[in-house]
Structure 1
Amino acid sequence: MLKRCIIAENRKLHASPIWVIFFVLPLISAGYGTFNYLQNLEILTERWYSLWTQHTLFYSMLFFPAMVSAYAAYLWRLEHLGHNWNLIMAAPVRPFALFAAKLLVVVKLMCFTQCFVFVLYVACGRLFAGFSDWPPVSIVF
């Protein structure tokens, strides 16, 4: 039953406006982080590590909590419209399966977002900061 609930939650995301948040907020945070790094090159001397600190500074404090909240709110929005709670409680699905499916879908979105943020980090380092090498493997871990 959990698998069917996850499939249903994934269907909500196909044509949803949540993908705008998925792409735009990491782009904004990457822009802020890269700009801040480029403005403070005399202080930030560790190249890839310093760029990573600036990217995560803005992303983790401002944008990531807002994105996770938006992801969860979007998945729960349908249940809060009308009398859908009554329909859910009368459905042949255990409430735990519904909650677990929503949690797993939000975690999946968070993982995709983290991968996208890392791609933006590498792209900003190579394109805007002018690094010719690749980031150290230790940053991934």
Structure 2
Amino acid sequence: MGAITAELLKLKRSLAWPVVVLLPIVLVLAGAATQLARGTQPENGWDTVWLQSVGFYGLFPLAIGIAILGSLVWRVEHRGSNWNALMSSPIPTLRLVVAKTAVVAGLTALMQVVLVLAVIAIGKLAFGLPGMLPGKYHGIGLLLILATVPVAALQSALSLFLRSFAAPVAVALVASGISTAALLALGNAALASPYGLATRTTLLSTGSFADSGTVTAGDVTAIVVASLVLSVLIVAVTTAVLNRRDTRI
């Protein structure tokens, strides 16, 4: 917990917070922009608002947002002599990797909370939709928090090994595009990719790409298992590689 607390203290004045708050809000507004401009109502109410907002968000903006968060979380360590100081510290490698991953995943989780709140706000305040956002979408939002952990772990690893701020973001953009194409071609087999896993989760219940339009127990189970396996695997590989670096003592 001490390592995680130290990482959280570094985020006090971080640019990560605007990303967490503004990215999902902008994407929700962009999804509703056309109908707001025309003054028309969503054809299928909450379902349409969710699809227009979250469906597009999951194709590549989500991965890019996580990549930016990863780069921001590792930014301090790549300045001056901070890297050598960190690598020569007595903190076990696994604890360091887990702490950084936990911070990126935590910020990503908050981003999903803002996303759901923004969807509710646009549905109620802009379109005056009756009732509230259906419970299944709240469940998908919670599932998305878990499904983005592997992406957070991978982007944290990329930002660990790449000093460039932009390089991990570029990787996320390309990888999310490939994973989206894989969803079309391979269906749930694309869950083997952290980016495909996150995108697949945002598309649950939308009837788009590989989704059937309904949330099945099989889909949820596959997403949960893939999230856990990929998270553990990425953290383990990152720890093993970091342990072999010359600057790690």
> Which TM-score applies when normalising by structure 2?
0.52
Residue 29 of structure 1: which of 6, 27, 30 is its match?
27
Name the aligned partner's letter for residue 60 of structure 1: G
Pairs aligned (count)? 138
Q: Distance in 1 between matches of 2:60 and 2:35?
A: 17
8 Å Cα contact 1:34-1:129 kept in structure 2:
no
Task: For residues 68-100 of structure 1, give each alpha carbon's deviation from its aligned partner in whole angstroms, at most 9, with x where no partner exists.
Answer: 011110111111112222212221101211111
Residue 61 of structure 1: which of 56, 59, 62 is its match?
59
Task: For residues 88-121 of structure 1, give each alpha carbon's deviation from its aligned partner in whole angstroms, at most 9, with x where no partner exists.
Answer: 2221101211111010111111111101110000
8 Å Cα contact 1:33-1:57 kept in structure 2:
no
Name the aligned partner's letter for residue 78 of structure 1: V
Paired-residue identity, %: 28
Task: For residues 6-58 of structure 1, give each alpha carbon's deviation from its aligned partner in whole angstroms, at most 9, with x where no partner exists.
Answer: 0011011112122122222122101111124555968x632101110000133
Mapping 1:72-91, distance limit 5 Å: 72-91=70-89
1:93 partner SS: coil
Residue 122 (structure 1) aligns with: 120
8 Å Cα contact 1:9-1:101 kept in structure 2:
yes
8 Å Cα contact 1:6-1:101 kept in structure 2:
yes
Structure 1 82/89 Cα, relative in aligned 2: closer, same or farther at 3 Å?
same
Compare relative contact order (CA 8 Å, sep 6+) and give the higher one, 1 or 2. 1
8 Å Cα contact 2:20-2:108 kept in structure 1:
no
Residue 100 (structure 1) aligns with: 98
Residue 18 (structure 2) aligns with: 20
Residue 7 (structure 2) aligns with: 9
- Once the 2 structures are TM-superposed, how far is the Cα of residue 137 of structure 1 from its aligned partner? 1.0
8 Å Cα contact 1:32-1:55 kept in structure 2:
yes
8 Å Cα contact 1:37-1:54 kept in structure 2:
no
Q: Distance in 1 between matches of 2:72 and 2:100?
A: 10
> Which TM-score applies when normalising by structure 1?
0.88
Residue 136 of structure 1: which of 126, 134, 137 is its match?
134
Structure 2, unpaired ranges of 5+: 140-249
Name the aligned partner's letter for residue 102 of structure 1: K
Deviates more, 1:19-28 or 1:120-129: 19-28
Structure 1 57/41 Cα, relative in aligned 2: closer, same or farther at 3 Å?
farther
8 Å Cα contact 2:76-2:82 kept in structure 1:
yes
Structure 1, unpaired ranges of 5+: none
Name the aligned partner's letter for residue 52 of structure 2: Q
